[in-house]
Structure 1
Amino acid sequence: MDGSKTSLGFLVLLSMVLFSGTSSDPHSLSYNFTISPWPRDDQPWCEVQGEVDQNVFLSYDCGTAKIKYMSPLGEEVKSMSTWETQTVTLRDTGDLLKEQMPDVTPEKHTDKEESGPLTLQARMTCWREGNGHTSAFWEFGFNGQLCLLFDLENGHWTMFHPGGSQMRENWENDRAVTDFFKKVSMGDCRAWLQAFLVRWEKMLKTSASPTTASPTVQPTAPASNQITKIILGVFAVFIILSIIAWILYKKRRRCSQEAQRALSA
């Protein structure tokens, strides 16, 4: 009897270990950069939209440093010390992307050639999964056409359109640029998300922001994370069922041995 209690207690403890950290909701933080090297009079050369869980919470003009808070989520974080350093990083990112445009501008950047100035879109996304694992990626495109993805999980560049070939070749061989992308997404973005969630989590659970983004480059989080979670879940269930079967087997065997001893007596 004591052995059964111990085994059941072990099962409970194992379940807690296997499934701990999965109760938290996953959250993502994204910044959409639109770089226009030759803007019109009423157009900023660099505009950034911030999103949490794909809901817009602010708009930032890199040139004038003006911020528009688009939802209560934005109002909640504008007084944080983290935000002051964040605007500097966003402006530096805009400057870097503008400097890179002469080197990465493709001859044919969209499926349909369009008249007018060329714009570069970049989307940085970092997210925290329910188990606490965090990751990040960058997406790049021209005039709304997704061209290139940089996955920080594995360090791979994926090309979605021929217009991104020159961009990939240049940036794959430029350690300073790739290190900057890694630092901002895997370092700064994750730290911002963690700090913001301290203020945001109650708000995110009770209500969602009514303003949703219409990004030119849609997020395409790698499916490998979902597959990994499914495999781990199946493996955990297999372990628990195996332990239960072993306990039942030992219990039946003990009962059989006790019955044989009783008959022999």
Structure 2
Amino acid sequence: SLCLHLTVKSQSRPGQPWCQVQSSMDTKPFLQYDSDSNKVRPLGFLGEEVNDTKAWTELSPTVGEAGRELRMVLPVIKLDKKEMRGPPSLQVRLCCQRETEQCSGASLLFSRNGWIALLLDTMSITWTVIDPGATGLKEEWENNQELAEYFRKISMGDCSYWLREFLEHWENMLLPEPTEPLTEAPNNHQPASIPLNKCILPLIFIFIIFICLIVIIIKKCMKKSGTTESENQAGLWFLGRFVLGRTSEK
């Protein structure tokens, strides 16, 4: 839904606008207007998104005209004692909704000096009195066909048009951003597998070097002890059998 909140004063102090407007999309403010500057200013992300569209450029004159029309009806508004707080002012909440590409609802809620007075359903031009003190105002406006037609035009025509033009931008802003599919992180806790031959070969190589050193030491010892050649060969044969047996076990 799109709503415009208009505040119109019969009198205003210097430096204060007599008409102020704030508009919202689904309760999120996106524009602001005042009669002093006669310009529409963007608010929020939606305002920044649509402030260069054709519909945006048409807002300022239409909203300004609505303020002037409402100011013209202020003199006929009679206030109760409870409402007499300063110069007369009129607050109007204009809202419209769209469904299936067409206007499905439009209304104007009128308040006098902050007190809710009348509700106008512009789809059926039906007036509803909320404050009994506004009965006379309702009868006067009800007989003013030109005023009722203007309210119908701005709510079902202009408001519905703005809603249609801005709704696409608003829905695109509400869409979630696409996210990349999650990929599983590599499992760094898997035990590292070491090939068996990489473990055995170094051990065999070390074992052979160790045996060679033993053979050299034994030969030197035999020379010093004066053992015969046959005894030396027997000792080496026994050592060779021992080495082959250990190697086969590996």
Report the more deviating stretch, 59-68 or 45-54: 59-68
Q: Could you say which structure has the larger radius of gyration?
A: 2
Deviation at 1:66, TM superposition (A): 2.9
Equivalent residue for 2:29, pick from 45, 56, 76: 56
Q: Give the counterpart letter for 2:121 in structure 1.
A: D
Is it true that 1:99 corresponds to 2:58 in the alignment?
no
Deviation at 1:198, TM superposition (A): 2.0
Is it true that 1:143 corresponds to 2:113 in the alignment?
yes
Is it true that 1:41 corresponds to 2:14 in the alignment?
yes
Taking the aligned partners of 1:113 and 1:97, their CA distance within structure 2 comes to: 18
Q: Which secondary structure state, in structure 1, belongs to the residue aligned with residue 88 of structure 2? A: coil
Contact kept in structure 2, 1:124 and 1:139, CA below 8 Å = yes
Is it true that 1:154 corresponds to 2:124 in the alignment?
yes
Compute the RMSD of aligned alpha carbons.
2.0
The superposition leaves residues 81-136 of structure 1 with CA deviations (integer Å, 9 ceiling, x where unpaired) of 11122211111110000011111x12307xx3443222110111001247866210
Aligned to 1:197: 167
Equivalent residue for 1:75, pick from 48, 55, 61: 48
Q: Give the counterpart letter for 1:177 in structure 2.
A: L
Taking the aligned partners of 2:137 and 2:128, their CA distance within structure 1 comes to: 11
Identity of aligned residues (%): 37
Moved over 6 A (4+): none
Q: State TM-score, norm by structure 1.
A: 0.62
Q: Which runs of 5+ in 2 are unaligned?
A: 178-250
Alpha carbons of 1:44 and 1:75: their partners in 2 closer, same or farther (altered >3 Å)? same
Deviation at 1:181, TM superposition (A): 0.5
Q: State TM-score, norm by structure 2.
A: 0.66
What is the count of residue pairs matched by the alignment?
177
